[in-house]
């Protein structure tokens, strides 16, 4: 209890501090405005469209504005005098045409074949002014230079706020000291515009940030998946998709998913036969049908038994007659989604056309702002004047007069949603001149508004219950008493249903008792209204973008429309959804996008940071993209039933289409480093995805025959994850003790591999630098091993003939009782000399004379046991610190008691066999020096363990 009270106290204190801070900021803003108002002589006002600029200018100037041409012929300039900031100023009103700037990848990534699509998740993007907006931009720059203040009059929604900041950026680039204000309004009427001028505020950067995040995510996600799908599927199905753009969008795909899901539900539906009993009663001219209280049964025998019982005693007894008032509720205030759904159902106008018409009606001043989530009329909105305007109509004027005559006046039914920005959609002035769909939509909005502020329809419902052999049946009738809102709202139906007068306790003989059968029916295909409702329910898009996403899946041929305007998925749409679903990523489901929309709302409210939201969702979609590309054949398999057999492609083409997985983070820029193949030959290199801006790379020498990414991750190298690599080296290119194939880390922890590959970009300590750069950067994540500079890289040693070592991996024995060197076969060994140039040139060594036991021993170290060189197993090197090695027994104990020593009298290092085979998992000791200094020592670890009781 104390914790709860203390929490409330802290919350209340925080809110009070925030309120005080807000009031203080507002006071400061007012004081600043007052201080600078004397400096403001000319004000630049910018609306979102030319029609809006003209309508606002007509109101502010009372129709006395001066019009002149701007650099764009579609965006005029209106000038007039107005009382603003407590003084008379000259207003220059102009407009943009939607977004002034666009987001695009920088030049190296813009072309489809310029890079692997996965790189688009990290590629640099920039905002630029499209060619068709250049003249508008120049107009703003020219006018801004002559003004002291800028007032943003764009639409008061997310997109409008973002467009406002684009205008601010352009104007402030040429005049940094320009004062900026925001006008908030919901309709282009005199009262609304005057109120906006009196309550100018600051633009809201949080709302604009939400749009920036959405734009960048849509660009990166859409471009990467679209390029991936299109480039792959055009190759796989050239006859069907040769010139087809196969787009992907994080909103359009779940929208397509709803259509496919409904279609598949219909396909998989299995109808069931049911049975029920009906009772008919004829009285004079009326026929009353009584419904069975059990509704229906799916068991024929059970229903037949009950029917026969009723037929044995077919007299009906009236058990109750009840009469009660019944109301049909008037509609809620109109929001955008409801307008789209009702226009589609009642007017047969699709959502895209509805929004286009509504935008036009708004800019002409006929209706309020059409993009709103609110279905509650605010208390401060005067509804009576809006109703009074409609009394002029010869069609609904009489009804409007009745609404004004209601005891409480206009009395709207209120909903539960509010976006705190705009009121519900309503008419702002009367018109009888609109034609076509414009006239029909305007009439619908007016009738809906009048119905909403009137009264519910009233009726009286009578319910009659009867009993036949203890089976219950009922019938109902309806008498409409007052139609009320139905008189002006023909889109709702409520009809009288007459029923004879029955008395409780009376008995009658039914005209018929029948047992009828039927079967369950599948759900219907989705209408546009159904689809919009699903999108709203699952948080796909916003009220402003539903129509756009639906239009996209239609234009891409992912869906079509039946004769009765219901959505039917196309073959391509079906295949795409089934393909991605089979990968295990239900990208056609709404979850991913719904979470994003929720985060965007939090960004717009200032409750989440835009960078963290952007980073989180990019990483999530990037992971899905990489996995989807790896399982791309599932996409081919899903589409083949619809588009025919897939085209066979070469292994090289398949590799080109595969998405390289990240190996590690680039030490220079922090982006992914991936494996790439050189244009000439089959050798590979490690490159930063930020190329050409970032040129960090790891070039593997020609001695590396094969290299690939392993799923394992180095436990010590930073920043994690640093994936291990599988190597296969050329024979003779490695020290005697190193296998030709093994798994190693290039993060810096493996000193031997670092020296073998000449990884100059690695500092001693394990952090990466830039290859070929002017200097090696300071290690970012030093390892706990004391730094030690590696010696200069000597030429790669080679032997001729190539020495071999025992296939069983055992120690080489030496008969020290005589001067003869004996191999593992018990025969005299053969003395040979290294002929190839290198550090061992001229050096003699012993090998098996028959070549069967792989014996090897340097001749200048006759007292040593030879070290076998295993060419078979993969070895994952486990390199402990050179200054602190584990104690694993006693080998050469002069000064190193309890440690295994190599032939150099140095502590040996421990390695483990990783490759499948009889020795997998066995550990052994070997020389820990660099390759040109190794003594060739080898010993299995368990063979060096002293017997119990021995020291």
Phi, psi angles (nearest 5°) of residue 385: -60, -35
Is cis: bond before 384, omega within 30 of 0?
Answer: no
Question: In terms of Cα–Cα distance, which of 719, 714, 813, 806 is closest to 754?
Answer: 714
**Token pair of 276, please?**
């029920």
Q: What distances in angstroms separate CA 708 from CA 653, 700, 703, one per listed residue?
A: 18, 12, 15
Tell me the chain's radius of gyration from C-alpha atoms: 41
User: Catalytic: 366?
Assistant: no
CA distance 880 to 786: 11
CB 615 within 8 A of CB 596: no
The span from the first CA to the last CA of the chain, in angstroms, equals 67
CA distance 747 to 725: 10
Give residues with Cβ within 8 angstroms of 780, minimum separation 6. Answer: 667, 718, 719, 767, 768
Angle, helices 571-582 vs 632-643, to 10°: value is 150
User: 358: part of which helix (H) or strand (E)?
Assistant: helix 351-363
Strand 149-153 with 179-182, pairing: parallel
CB 580 within 8 A of CB 625: no
Of 369, 502, 558, 621, catalytic: 369
CB 421 within 8 A of CB 409: no
CA distance 499 to 283: 10
Is cis: bond before 801, omega within 30 of 0?
Answer: yes
**Token pair of 62, please?**
């009372």
CB 37 within 8 A of CB 142: no
CB 730 within 8 A of CB 700: no
How many helices (H) and strands (E) are present in the chain, helices listed first? 22, 31
Question: In terms of Cα–Cα distance, which of 578, 869, 902, 924 is closest to 729?
Answer: 869
CB 203 within 8 A of CB 165: yes
**Catalytic residues, which ones?**
369
């Amino acid at each position: 209890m104390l914790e709860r009270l203390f929490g409330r106290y802290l919350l209340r204190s925080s809110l009070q501090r925030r309120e005080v801070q807000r009031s203080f900021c507002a006071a400061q803003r007012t004081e600043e405005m007052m201080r600078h108002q004397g400096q403001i002589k000319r004000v630049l006002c910018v609306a979102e469209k030319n029609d809006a600029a003209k309508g606002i200018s007509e109101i502010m100037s009372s129709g006395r504005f001066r019009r002149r041409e701007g650099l764009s012929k579609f965006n005029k300039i209106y000038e007039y005098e107005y009382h603003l900031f407590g003084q008379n100023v000259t207003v220059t009103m102009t407009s943009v045409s939607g977004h002034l700037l666009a987001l695009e990848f920088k030049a190296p990534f813009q072309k489809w074949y310029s890079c692997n699509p996965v790189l688009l998740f990290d590629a640099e993007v920039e905002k630029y002014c499209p060619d068709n907006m250049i003249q508008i931009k120049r107009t703003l720059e020219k006018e801004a230079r002559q003004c002291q203040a800028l007032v943003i009059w764009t639409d008061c929604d997310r997109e409008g706020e973002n467009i406002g900041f684009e205008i601010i950026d352009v104007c402030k680039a040429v005049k940094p000291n320009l004062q900026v204000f925001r006008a908030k309004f919901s309709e282009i009427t005199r009262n609304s515009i005057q109120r906006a001028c009196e309550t100018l505020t600051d633009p809201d950067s949080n709302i604009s940030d939400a749009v920036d995040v959405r734009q960048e995510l849509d660009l990166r996600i859409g471009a990467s998946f679209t390029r991936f799908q299109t480039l792959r599927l055009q190759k796989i199905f050239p006859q069907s998709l040769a010139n087809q753009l196969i787009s992907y969008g994080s909103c359009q795909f779940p929208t397509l998913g709803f259509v496919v899901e409904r279609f598949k539900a219909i396909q998989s539906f299995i109808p069931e036969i049911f049975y029920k009993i009906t009772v008919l009663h004829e009285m004079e001219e009326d026929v009353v049908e009584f419904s069975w209280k059990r509704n229906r049964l799916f068991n024929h025998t059970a229903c037949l038994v009950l029917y026969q019982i009723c037929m044995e005693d077919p007299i009906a007894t009236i058990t109750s007659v009840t009469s009660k008032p019944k109301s049909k509720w008037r509609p809620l205030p109109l929001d955008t989604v409801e307008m789209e759904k009702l226009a589609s159902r009642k007017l047969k106008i699709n959502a895209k056309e509805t929004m286009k018409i509504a935008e036009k009606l708004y800019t002409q001043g006929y209706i309020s702002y059409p993009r709103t989530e609110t279905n509650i009329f605010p208390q401060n909105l005067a509804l009576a004047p809006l109703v009074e305007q409609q009394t002029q109509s010869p069609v609904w004027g009489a009804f409007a007069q009745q609404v004004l005559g209601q005891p409480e006046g206009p009395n709207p039914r209120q909903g539960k949603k509010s976006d705190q920005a705009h009121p519900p959609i309503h008419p702002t002035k009367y018109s009888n001149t609109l034609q076509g769909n414009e006239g029909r939509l305007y009439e619908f909005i007016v009738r809906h508004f009048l119905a909403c502020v009137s009264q519910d329809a009233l009726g009286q419902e009578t319910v009659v219950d009867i009993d036949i052999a203890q089976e219950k049946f009922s019938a109902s009738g309806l008498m409409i008493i007052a139609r009320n809102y139905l008189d002006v709202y023909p889109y709702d139906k409520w009809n009288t249903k007459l029923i004879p007068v029955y008395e409780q306790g009376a008995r009658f003989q039914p005209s018929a008792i029948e047992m009828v059968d039927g079967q369950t029916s599948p759900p219907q295909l989705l209408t546009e209204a159904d689809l919009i409702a699903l999108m709203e329910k699952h948080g796909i898009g916003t009220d402003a973008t539903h129509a756009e996403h639906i239009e996209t899946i239609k234009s891409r041929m992912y869906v079509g429309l039946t004769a009765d305007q219901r959505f039917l998925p196309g073959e391509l749409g079906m295949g795409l959804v089934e393909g991605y679903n089979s990968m295990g990523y239900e990208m056609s489901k709404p979850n991913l996008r719904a979470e994003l929309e929720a985060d965007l709302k939090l960004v717009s409210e200032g409750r989440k940071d835009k960078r963290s939201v952007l980073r989180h969702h990019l990483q999530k979609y990037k992971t899905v993209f990489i996995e989807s590309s790896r399982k791309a054949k599932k996409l081919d398999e899903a589409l083949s039933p619809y588009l025919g057999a897939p085209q066979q492609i070469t292994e090289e083409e398949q590799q080109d289409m595969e998405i390289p997985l990240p190996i590690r983070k680039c030490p220079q820029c922090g982006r992914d480093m991936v494996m790439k193949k050189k244009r000439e030959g089959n050798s590979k290199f490690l490159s930063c995805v930020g190329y050409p801006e970032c040129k960090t790379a790891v070039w593997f020498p020609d001695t590396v025959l094969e290299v690939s990414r392993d799923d394992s991750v180095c436990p010590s190298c930073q920043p994690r994850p640093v994936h291990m690599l599988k190597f296969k080296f050329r024979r003779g290119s490695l020290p005697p003790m190193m296998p030709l194939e093994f798994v190693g880390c290039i993060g810096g922890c493996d000193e031997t591999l670092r020296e073998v590959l000449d990884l100059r970009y690695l500092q001693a300590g394990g952090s990466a630098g830039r290859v070929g750069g002017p200097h090696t950067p300071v290690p970012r994540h030093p390892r706990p091993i004391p730094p030690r500079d590696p010696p200069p890289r000597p030429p790669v040693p080679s032997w001729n003939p190539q020495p071999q070592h025992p296939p069983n991996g055992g120690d080489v024995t030496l008969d020290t009782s005589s001067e003869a060197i004996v191999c593992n076969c018990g025969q005299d060994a053969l003395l040979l000399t290294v002929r190839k140039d290198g550090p061992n040139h001229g050096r003699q060594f012993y090998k098996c004379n028959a070549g069967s036991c792989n014996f090897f021993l340097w001749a200048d170290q006759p007292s040593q046991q030879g070290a076998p060189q295993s060419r078979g197993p993969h070895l994952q090197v486990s390199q402990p610190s050179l200054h602190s090695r584990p104690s694993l027994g006693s080998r050469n104990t002069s000064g190193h008691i309890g440690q295994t020593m190599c032939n150099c009298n140095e502590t040996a290092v421990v390695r483990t066999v990783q490759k499948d085979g009889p020795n997998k998992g066995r550990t052994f000791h070997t020389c820990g020096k660099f390759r040109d200094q190794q003594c060739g020592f080898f010993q299995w670890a368990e063979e060096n363990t002293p017997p119990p009781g021995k020291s």
